[in-house]
Homo-oligomer: A and B are copies of this chain.
Amino acid sequence: MTELPQDLVELAKEVLTCARAQGKRLVTAESCTGGLIASFLTAVPGSSDVIEGGFVTYSNDAKTRLLGVPRDALATHGAVSDIVASAMAEGALAQVQAQMAVSVTGIAGPGGGGKDKPVGLVFMALAQTDADAVVKRYVFAGTRDDVRRAAVGAALELLLSTLKAEA
């Protein structure tokens, strides 16, 4: 069978090694990446000592029910927004026994884009139990698959850089 792209698996390994060294457990909250971030992290043998779990909140209703994202925020700012990315990460952290959460919400395409929010627009947030959430904004190019993979890479990089800064 085709393997997962090796560069992302290597990045996932680094994230797990750093988190393990710091005794931190991770949780994911994914919209447009649809479980891909969790897939890459759990592709690594032994990941269960770091990965607590994850959420795929594809609908707005799931974002509210599972992660407590306020319906007002979804209505006012839209699902693809810094506010919602932040609320998703904070919400994931509140649900399970983990110290770091990463969230992703974006427009993977090919449909769903507009003038203000083009296809490829992705917001991601990193929340920690002992620090304020950090939110990043990206516009990735390419196909639906390209945008999703680029978002996975950026999310893993965000986890890794945060972990390294705290090592």
| Interface residues, chain A, with chain B CB atoms under 8 Å away | 1-5, 28, 30, 32-39, 41-43, 45-48, 51-59, 61-62, 65-66, 95-97, 109-111, 144-146, 148-149
Q: Which of B42, B45, B96, B111 contacts A35 (CB under 8 A)?
A: B42
A43: which B residues are within 8 A, CB to CB? Answer: 34, 144-145, 148
A55 to B56, CA, bound (A): 6
The minimal Cβ–Cβ distance linking A159 to chain B, given in whole angstroms, is 15
Number of copies: 2
A30 to B3, CA, bound (A): 19
- With A1-B5, A62-B53, A96-B65 as known contacts, state yes or no: A45 contacts B149, CB within 8 Å: no
Interface SS, A side: mixed
B55 touches A42 (CB 8 A): no
A28 to B54, CA, bound (A): 11
Pairs A-B, 10 closest by C-beta atoms: A34-B42, A35-B35, A35-B38, A53-B62, A54-B56, A35-B39, A38-B56, A36-B39, A2-B5, A1-B149
A62 to B66, CA, bound (A): 13
A144 to B1, CA, bound (A): 11
Among residues of B, the one whose C-beta sits closest to the C-beta of A6 is: B2
A146: which B residues are within 8 A, CB to CB? Answer: 1
Q: Which of B4, B55, B109 contacts A55 (CB under 8 A)?
A: B55
